[in-house]
Amino acid sequence: MRILITNDDGVNALGLQILANVAKKFGSVICVAPIEEQSGKSHSIIIKEPFVIKKYEDIVPGVKTYGIGSTPGDCVRIAHYYLKEQFDLVLSGINNGYNLGEDILYSGTIGAATEGILCGKKAIAFSTKVNHFDNLDLEVGKILKMIIEEKMLELHNFWNVNICDNPKGIKYTYQGCTNFDAYYEDVSNDEVFSRGGPDLSKEKDRTGSDVCAIYNGYISISPLTADRTNYNILNKVNNKI
């Protein structure tokens, strides 16, 4: 298996190194990641100005590494369209912080994985609790082994994995709601700073959601799609015509 590693925390992020090391056990690996942190950039790309492509010393021995002066989505595009790298699977992460609920829409980690789908590849996004990296390689290795051995990538091409600390097990989930308390703080006369935080406890009883699984101590694995069409509604309106 040929694997592309990317993320939104930057090419020097610990989560990227852990993921690349784990991925080496499952196939040949290349890393193409942002030079600087790109959290919250979703699936954005740069189209009207140039950006840097820089060869790095291998972040992990034996893993060819490039740093890109753009977004996670562009990292996958550069690997596919410019570097002409041959890969079957995009592994994005391991993000330093969960990507649950509506954060899926904002996440550069998910954006990179989504771009992999648009390039005709399969993709898995990995995220974890903030600064939770101890023994994370073991958990990621077990999950990746399970996904491959149980042929989950043949069942579906796009999975979102969130790993809590000391997990009780695994739950297969849908996108929930983080109940983020967003507000903005003035830092000068013409500048504001985004503030707030999630309240996962509000979903503790919403069985089946990714937020509920994480709050109750389970790894969350969700099947995602790049297609945002609501086919249920589309079929209903078409049947009225």
Quick: pLDDT tens for 153-185.
999 999 999 999 999 999 999 999 999 998 899
Q: What is the pLDDT of residues 86-134, one digit of tens each?
A: 999 999 999 999 999 999 999 999 999 999 999 999 999 999 999 999 9
Taking 70 as the threshold, does the pLDDT of residue 139 lie above it? yes
- Residues whose CB is less than 8 angstroms from the CB of residue 41 and which lie 6 or more positions away in sequence, other chains included: 8, 71, 72, 73, 108, 111
- φ and ψ of 37, to 5 deg: -55, 140
Q: What is d(CA 185, CA 17) in angstroms, rounded to the nearest whole number?
A: 34
Taking 80 as the threshold, does the pLDDT of residue 187 lie above it? yes
Q: Which two tokens stand for residue 221?
A: 């694995």
Q: Which two tokens stand for residue 162?
A: 């969130």
Task: Specify the higher pLDDT residue, 209 or 241.
Answer: 209
- Residues whose CB is less than 8 angstroms from the CB of residue 76 and which lie 6 or more positions away in sequence, other chains included: 4, 6, 32, 90, 112, 115, 116, 119
The pTM assigned to this predicted structure is: 0.95
User: Going by DSSP bridges, is the β-strand pair 191-195/89-96 parallel, antiparallel, or unpaired?
Assistant: unpaired
* pLDDT of 241: 60
Residues of the chain above pLDDT 90, percent: 91
* pLDDT of 5: 98
Q: What is d(CA 33, CA 9) in angstroms, rounded to the nearest whole number?
A: 9
